[in-house]
């Protein structure tokens, strides 16, 4: 890698892609390539192929995906399965056919079995059944992991996958119908605070345990992988620390300044009981996260307040 290498970041306007772009730019990489969804429909095979032939990237980072929380996954299983497969298959296949030697595929910890031993190790992939509430997204991501592994095995190219734990941070999605748990809680607590500290109802029992990684730390992991040759096809990326959803809610509530009651609706699904990543492989290579959860939530809430009018106009 050198600072003049052409690096295409698919999904460069999203939370993860924009963080990767920002950090690469700060490090001095000058030939970054991106295309908005209006400029390039990644679900269109021919359009992706044409774009690749024109931009001729040396490296592709796939941070593009259709994402959402439990509600969105439950309501739109076909889109979460098919659109994610279309996006990643078009990118991976075009990269291979056009001779791109390095491809970084970003997935999710939901690829691992629902009841896999904790913490989740890379070798647990495909050893048991998935969590039903997000299996469609997980199945799509598993096919991406395996496609990169197949190219690596058959053609010797540097194609590999990074599996992040739950990500959050600046430019997150705060739409209550499609967002993940942390940004959804943040918006609920903020709006309740604005409404005379009204009570906040949250899904589930609050007992499941989750791990959270600030998006800039994920971007740093991607850059680390970009600048080093990784020996294996799959690496977990996380903090190695988790907490209950109830503890998460109380942390966000404190940072937001909400003083009302929290009501837990245990008629709603909890999802996987625990998802903690074993990140020893990345640690052995020399990468480690820097931002602790409370500091990351504070950074995210600051960004939320600075941009609230913009995303309220778009998403409400």
Residues carrying an active site annotation: 137
Sign of the CA dihedral 145, 150, 151, 157? positive
Check if the beta carbon of residue 116 is closer than 8 Å to that of residue 201: no
Residues in a beta bridge with 159: 103
How far is Cα 230 from Cα 218, in angstroms, rounded to an integer?
Answer: 16
The C-alpha atoms of residue 222 and residue 200 are separated, in whole angstroms, by 36
Q: Is 25 exposed, middle or buried (0-12, 13-18, 19+ CB in 10 A)?
A: exposed
Rounded to 5°, the CA angle 95-69-176 comes to 120
Q: Which two tokens stand for residue 9?
A: 């970041």
Cis check for the bond before 119: say yes or no (omega within 30 of 0): yes
């Amino acid at each position: 890698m050198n600072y003049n290498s052409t690096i295409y970041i698919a999904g460069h306007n999203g939370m993860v892609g924009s963080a990767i772009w920002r950090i690469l730019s700060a490090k001095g990489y000058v030939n970054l390539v991106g295309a908005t969804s209006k400029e390039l429909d990644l679900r269109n095979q021919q359009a992706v192929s044409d774009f690749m032939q024109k931009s001729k990237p040396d490296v592709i980072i796939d941070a593009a995906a259709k994402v959402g929380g439990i509600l969105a996954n439950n309501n739109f299983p076909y889109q979460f399965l098919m659109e994610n497969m279309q996006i990643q298959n078009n990118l991976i296949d075009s990269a291979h056919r056009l001779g791109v030697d390095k491809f970084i595929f970003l997935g999710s910890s939901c690829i691992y079995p629902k009841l896999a031993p904790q913490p989740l190790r890379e070798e647990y992939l495909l050893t048991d059944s998935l969590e039903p509430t997000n299996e469609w997204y997980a199945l799509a991501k598993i096919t991406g992991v395996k496609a990169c592994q197949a190219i690596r095995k058959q053609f010797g190219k540097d194609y590999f996958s990074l599996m992040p734990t739950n990500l959050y941070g600046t430019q997150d999605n705060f739409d209550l119908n499609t967002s993940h748990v942390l940004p959804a809680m943040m918006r609920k607590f903020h709006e309740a605070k604005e409404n005379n500290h009204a009570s906040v109802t949250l899904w589930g029992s609050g007992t499941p345990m989750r791990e959270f990684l600030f998006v800039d730390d994920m971007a740093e992991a991607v850059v680390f992988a970009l600048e080093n040759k990784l020996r294996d096809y799959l690496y977990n990326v996380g903090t190695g620390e988790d907490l209950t959803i109830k503890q998460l809610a109380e942390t966000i509530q404190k940072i937001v300044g909400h003083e009302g009651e929290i009501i837990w609706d245990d008629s709603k699904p909890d999802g996987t009981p625990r998802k903690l990543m074993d990140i020893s492989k990345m640690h052995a290579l020399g990468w480690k996260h820097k931002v602790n959860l409370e500091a990351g939530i504070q950074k995210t809430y600051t960004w939320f307040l600075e941009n609230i009018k913009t995303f309220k106009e778009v998403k409400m």
